[in-house]
Homo-oligomer: A and B are copies of this chain.
């Protein structure tokens, strides 16, 4: 489905390199981009079988994961409104040697820039190539962070345990506390707590607001807290 005026506006505002594209390049993007609708649970990208293009999340939420031979999944990262995914165009990145799967967590809409078009831009525009670098660096950091959590910290488990204990103490799902307080209690840095709480939030475990953390999925939190080190 080609784009209406409001989708075009959304796309222009979402692509950080838009202001540095030539008139010709902009026309190329606008004429080729398409809106896609994804019911919750549907697949957006199926490993090596697909290479549709780079997309921007217009609404909803999508999840990127890798898959083992036995069908076990691990979420690499989630994407929300205005987030951009390049792994659905990973065939253009010749050194990416792993298969990524992407599915809609909620009913979602994405705007797709076809692989051939994005690859052309990437080969002709420094702004786009630089953006590809930034995008790869950012996702790379997400994955290293995940690896660190798994190997070193079990900090996810410890934080889940801490939140459940606090909830038992306060007798409810609403915990009046700050990231700073939790960090002090757990002997770690506030940034570490904030980052993990955001991850919990993206996984639907907690809701975050100023001065309060609310437990949304106690069962999942309990499962996490009971996990053995190193096998999330």
How far, in angstroms, from A34 to B162 measured CA to CA in the complex? 51
Q: Which B residue sits closest to A142, measured CB to CB?
A: B97
Chain A, residues 137-171, CB within 8 Å of chain B (1/0): the string is 11111011111101111000000000000000000
Interface of A is mostly: helix
Contact A140 B143 (CB under 8 A): yes
Q: How many copies does the complex hold?
A: 2
Min Cβ gap A215→B in Å is 26
Identify 13 residue pairs between A and B in the complex whose beta-carbon atoms are under 8 Å apart, listed by A's number: A94-B134, A94-B137, A95-B137, A96-B141, A97-B138, A123-B130, A126-B129, A129-B133, A133-B133, A143-B144, A150-B151, A230-B230, A231-B231
**Does A69 make an interface contact (CB < 8 A)?**
yes
Max chain B C-beta neighbours (<10 A), residue from A95, A125, A141, A229: A95
Min Cβ gap A27→B in Å is 21
Contact A133 B136 (CB under 8 A): yes
